[in-house]
Amino acid sequence: GESVGLHLPTLSVQEGDNSIINCAYSNSASDYFIWYKQESGKGPQFIIDIRSNMDKRQGQRVTVLLNKTVKHLSLQIAATQPGDSAVYFCAERPGGYQKVTFGTGTKLQVIP
């Protein structure tokens, strides 16, 4: 079936650098996308979301970019900090539905 996937399973970045986490999705009916952060042993934490009528949305130190043409989603974290170390999941929600489908996850390691 259709799914959401990620290109990189692990990403290591130096503290202070910017991080970019990528996600490919295949369900063209999805109209809502979310990025979650999950620390070890905890539930997912909402970071930022974006609807399909937008191509960019900014939060505090985070930016999500959506390219519907190639079905690609990315999360940019500015000035990455040790506290950003976690697994990041993208998730998609098809239009008209409430349930979301999670991608495979990318582990972000911040090197002090």
Partner 1 sequence: GAVVSQHPSRVICKSGTSVKIECRSLDFQATTMFWYRQFPKQSLMLMATSNEGSKATYEQGVEKDKFLINHASLTLSTLTVTSAHPEDSSFYICSAQGPDTQYFGPGTRLTVL
Q: Name every residue whose Cβ is closer than 8 Å to that of residue 27 and which is 6 or more positions away in sequence.
A: 2, 3, 4, 92, 94, 101
How many chain residues are in contact with partner 1, going by CB under 8 A? 18
**53 contacts partner 1 (rule: CB under 8 A):** no
DSSP labels, 70-102: TTEEEEEESS--GGG-EEEEEEEEETT----EE
Binding string, residues 7-46; x marks residues near partner 1 by CB under 8 A: ---------------------------x-x----xxxxxx
Binder of partner 1 out of 73, 92, 103, 110 (CB under 8 A): 103
Comparison of 12 and 14: residue with beta carbon closer to partner 1: 12
Question: Nearest distance from residue 91's CB to partner 1, in Å?
Answer: 8
What angle is formed at CA 80 by the lines to CA 104 and CA 111, rounded to 5 degrees? 85
Give the interface with partner 1 as residue ranges (CB under 8 A). Answer: 34, 36, 41-46, 49, 89, 98-105
